[in-house]
Amino acid sequence: MGRIVIDRERCNGCELCIITCPYKLIYLSREINTKGYHVACFNGEEERCVGDAMCAEMCPQVAIKVYR
Ligand code: SF4
């Protein structure tokens, strides 16, 4: 069981984390940050997140923290 926290102000909506997560736990929100980007969001399914940090490793903005 894991959990991720995405810094919405660092996110530029590149979707690399969305593509990378093997369990499809991240989605692109309709919300827009102050830079004008749609932000990636964790869907809240902590019981399915394995905490492998693949999403965080792929993030070019270093916007994702993983807790497990
Ligand atoms: S830590 Fe792994 S399982 Fe959890 S959201 Fe990131 S890529 Fe998906």
Ligand 1 atom nearest the C-alpha of 53 is: 1
- Indicate the SS3 state at residue 19: helix
pLDDT at position 60, please?
98
Cα 55 to ligand 1 centre (Å): 6
pLDDT at position 5, please?
98
Cα separation, 35 vs 50, whole angstroms: 31
Our answer on whether the CB atom of 46 is closer than 6 Å to any ligand 1 atom is no
Q: Report pLDDT digits (tens) over 18-54.
A: 999 999 999 999 999 999 999 999 999 999 999 999 9
Ligand 1 atom nearest the C-alpha of 48 is: 3
Cα 54 to ligand 1 centre (Å): 6
List, in order of start, the domains of the chain with CATH numbers: 3-67 (3.30.70.20)
Cα separation, 28 vs 13, whole angstroms: 7
Residue 7 one-letter amino acid: D
